[in-house]
């Protein structure tokens, strides 16, 4: 059975080990060794060299009943910042940091749960399918580990990514995500002596953004302008600005429509910037780039991966609800690679902030649910 103290102690051990994105090496080696002690065959790939991390994706395999389909378990090794010198505190059944850093429950709670479940399977000699464990690098900065994984090493037929908050909900769909990069080149001039002879790239960006509908577009689609950088001095009409934005949607047509809308609004504003200065026509210029970060997935309620969770929940008294996600995770990449993968919760709350916390009871419940899923696969 799941041992609460062992699980909590190991989670505390993990969050004390810094593993911000691109600096997962130390944590990676510790986890790889723990997996070896549990009898797993462990592979460390070369993905870190490709993406600028000092760590590796961990691919671990544990033998099981070959008459059953191989199951994939996933969590990511990295955390957001500030994630160095974390000082976890347990108070009234809640684990949190001292308020100067994140906690790192995203996603070390997932790793702790997976290792605890593997330990129970091993110690209690519980029959289970073959298991493939994938602990990835740099999920937080673009799912880079999952994108650079060698999928020829995997045999999994379906899987679970432990990377969301509510243990009582299963995420069965997530949106596609486009990143939008825009560069506007204006015309510099002295802001005090001759502002009329310039075209401000920052002003054009402001005009374009004012014409956009941002935030939630509909129940399936969102858009955002998240970064603006430009200009050189207050006394110079800005000759350059960079804008970064994004669109997300559960429908590809809506994603493309919203992406095109943003790009075209910026292009229209730049086109309108033409004017005559000293008898010459001048105008701003624009460059745009759209990059697909990941593709959507949508697992039907009848699918094996989803049904296993619902059935397991019933056996331990949980009514598991299906939900749509608004963000991306390694599960997007696994689904795109042909491994139906849904996302299950670990209890993590207020992630990516210094107020991040996890209830001990939720951490334990997440482990009990995962164990029940695997026992009856």
Active-site residue 78, yes or no? Answer: yes
* Residue 197 CB coordination number (10 Å): 15
End-to-end CA distance of the chain: 17
pLDDT 10s digits, 300-337: 999 999 999 999 999 999 999 999 999 999 999 999 99
Q: Which CATH number is 4-174+296-375's, of 3.40.630.10, 3.40.50.1010, 3.40.50.620, 3.40.640.10?
A: 3.40.630.10
Q: Write out the H or E segment, with its range, that includes residue 261.
A: helix 252-271
Nearest alpha-carbon partner for 42 in 120, 128, 115, 123: 115
Examine the residue annotation and report whether 139 is marked as an active-site residue of this protein. Answer: yes
Full-model pTM: 0.94
Q: Is the pLDDT of residue 377 over 80?
A: no
Q: Give Cβ neighbours of residue 374 (< 8 Å, ≥ 6 apart).
A: 71, 117, 121, 126, 128, 129, 131
The single residue of 10, 20, 78, 163 carrying the catalytic annotation is: 78
- What pLDDT does 376 receive? 73
Q: Is residue 196 within a helix (H) or strand (E), and if so which, with residue range?
A: none
Which residues are bridge partners to 71 per DSSP?
131, 158
- Residue-range domain boundaries for the chain: 4-174+296-375, 176-293
Active-site residue (options: 24, 106, 116, 139)? 139
Q: How far is CA 209 from CA 173, 218, 247, 270, 283, in A?
A: 30, 19, 14, 12, 19
Confidence of residue 338 (pLDDT cuts 50, 70, 90): very high
CATH number belonging to domain 176-293: 3.30.70.360
Task: Dump pLDDT digits (tens) for 73-90.
Answer: 999 999 999 999 999 999
Does residue 112 register a pLDDT over 90? yes
| pLDDT of 131 | 98
Buried b / exposed e along 284-306 (16+ C-beta atoms within 10 A): bebebebeeebbbbebeeeeebb
The percent of residues above 90 in pLDDT, for the chain, comes to 97
């Amino acid at each position: 059975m799941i041992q609460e103290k062992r699980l909590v102690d190991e989670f505390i051990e993990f969050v004390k080990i810094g593993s911000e994105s691109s600096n997962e090496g130390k944590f990676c080696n510790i986890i790889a060794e723990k997996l070896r002690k549990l009898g797993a065959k462990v592979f460390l790939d070369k993905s870190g060299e490709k993406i600028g991390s000092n760590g590796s994706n961990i691919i671990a395999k544990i033998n099981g009943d070959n008459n059953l389909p191989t199951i994939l378990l996933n969590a990511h090794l990295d955390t957001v910042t500030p994630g160095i010198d974390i000082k976890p505190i347990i108070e009234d059944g809640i684990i949190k940091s001292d308020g100067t850093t994140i906690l790192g429950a995203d996603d070390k709670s997932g790793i702790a749960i997976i290792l605890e479940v593997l330990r129970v399977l091993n110690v209690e000699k519980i029959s289970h399918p073959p298991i493939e464990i994938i602990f990835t690098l740099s999920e937080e900065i673009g799912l880079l580990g999952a994108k650079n994984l060698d999928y020829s090493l995997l045999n999994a037929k379906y899987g679970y990514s432990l990377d969301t908050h509510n243990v009582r909900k299963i995420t069965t769909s997530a949106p596609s995500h486009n990143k939008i990069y825009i560069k506007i080149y204006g015309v510099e001039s002295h802001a005090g002596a001759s502002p009329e002879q310039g075209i401000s790239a920052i002003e054009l960006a402001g005009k374009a953004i004012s014409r956009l509908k941002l935030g939630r577009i509909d129940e399936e689609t969102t858009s955002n302008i998240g970064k603006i950088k430009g200009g050189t001095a207050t006394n110079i009409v800005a000759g350059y600005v960079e804008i970064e934005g994004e669109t997300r949607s559960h429908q590809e047509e809506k994603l493309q429509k919203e992406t095109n809308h943003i790009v075209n609004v910026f292009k229209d504003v730049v086109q309108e910037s033409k004017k005559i200065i000293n008898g010459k026509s001048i105008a701003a210029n624009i460059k745009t780039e759209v990059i697909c970060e990941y593709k959507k997935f949508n697992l039907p309620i009848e699918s094996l991966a989803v049904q296993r969770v619902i059935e397991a929940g019933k056996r331990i008294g949980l009514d598991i609800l299906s939900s749509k996600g608004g963000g991306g995770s390694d599960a997007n990449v696994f689904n795109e690679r042909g491994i139906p993968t849904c996302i299950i919760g670990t209890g993590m709350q207020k992630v990516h902030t210094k107020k991040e916390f996890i209830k001990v009871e939720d951490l334990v419940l997440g482990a009990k649910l995962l164990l029940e899923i695997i026992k009856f696969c």
